[in-house]
Amino acid sequence: MKTVEGDQMLKPSGNGDTAADSRRGDAGHSIALMKDGGALAPHQLEARRLINTDPATRELTNSFRELRTRLLELSDGQNFTTLVVPVSQGCGASFVARNLALAFAFDESRTALLVDCDLQRPSQHLALDVEPASGGLTDYLEHPAIGIKPILYHTGIPRLRLVPAGNAQNGHMEYFSSFRMRAVLDSLRCRYPDRYLFLDGPPIKGSPDARILSDLADYVVVVAGYGRDTPSSINRAVAGFDPNKLAGIVFNETP
């Protein structure tokens, strides 16, 4: 059964003294210290608003771990693609997509690939401090000859890679309904059986793109702004998706 399985409530973590928190935290457990080279220090993770094992973010970190567990329970043991979309703009869905991907990367037996599919307001390269010098998703879709490798970027976080949205902006091209889009996602997911894909999608309200993207995903996580989106607007938003793909609704409280 793949119906809406319980709701998740995310609150911003406390704004403690991050340097002191990092010192108090168990550095041995920090993802910043896991192998992969060039790893970020805990305060750098904090600055990027990324979950880590410091006590200050533990509650939030556990929420993402629960969401990870729920998705893994729904799956049949194979790697999968999860679309994360906000009901309306500014719910913090990009934050949720980023940290959910990170929760999978926490697990040393898995890797995560975050794909920024919000072409109107791409943000993951900024949040993760990645300079998309060799282009991103739309560049590949327009010019597949460049290959996939140049659009896969290291993030400084072990086992977490980013495909940025890209620089090509052809407003007339239906990127997400293209054959190439489906093919590239399939090949990214199938290449490594331990790789999990997370699509950071555009708002459901106002454009069909979120629904079109859901056709390319195995699961959909809908992010509602706590105190922002009304129950009826959430219901309307959720109604557009295949109920078998709906993994849950996250109520996120932005800081």
Stretch in the footprint of ligand ATP (CB under 6 A) among 86-94, 143-151, 185-193, 238-246: 86-94
Identity (one letter) of the amino acid at 67?
A: L
Asked if 154 interacts with ligand ATP (CB under 6 A), we say: no
164 binds ligand ATP (CB under 6 A): no
Nearer to Mg ion, 98 or 161 (CB): 98
First to last CA, the chain: 34
252 binds Mg ion (CB under 5 A): no
Q: How far lies 49's CA from each of 91, 213, 227, in Å?
A: 15, 26, 21
Calpha distance 163→148 (Å, rounded): 9
Among 81, 94, 138, 214, interactor with ligand ATP by CB under 6 A: 94
Contact, 200 vs 114, CB < 8 A? yes
Binding range to ligand ATP, per CB under 6 A, among 84-92, 129-137, 177-185, 205-213: 84-92
Smallest distance, ligand ATP to C-beta of residue 165, A: 12
Q: Does 99 bind Mg ion (CB under 5 A)?
A: no
Candidate ranges 92-100, 126-134, 179-187, 241-249; the one touching Mg ion (CB under 5 A): 92-100
Q: Does 123 bind ligand ATP (CB under 6 A)?
A: yes
The answer to whether 122 touches 139, Cβ cutoff 8 Å, is no
Query: Binding to ligand ATP by residue 14, rule CB under 6 A?
Result: no
| Element of type H or E holding 61 | helix 58-74
Residue written as tokens 């195995």?
218
Q: Among residues 215, 255, 230, 198, which one has the least CA distance to residue 71?
A: 198
Which CB sits closer to Mg ion, 94 or 111?
A: 94
Binding site for Mg ion (CB under 5 A): 94, 118
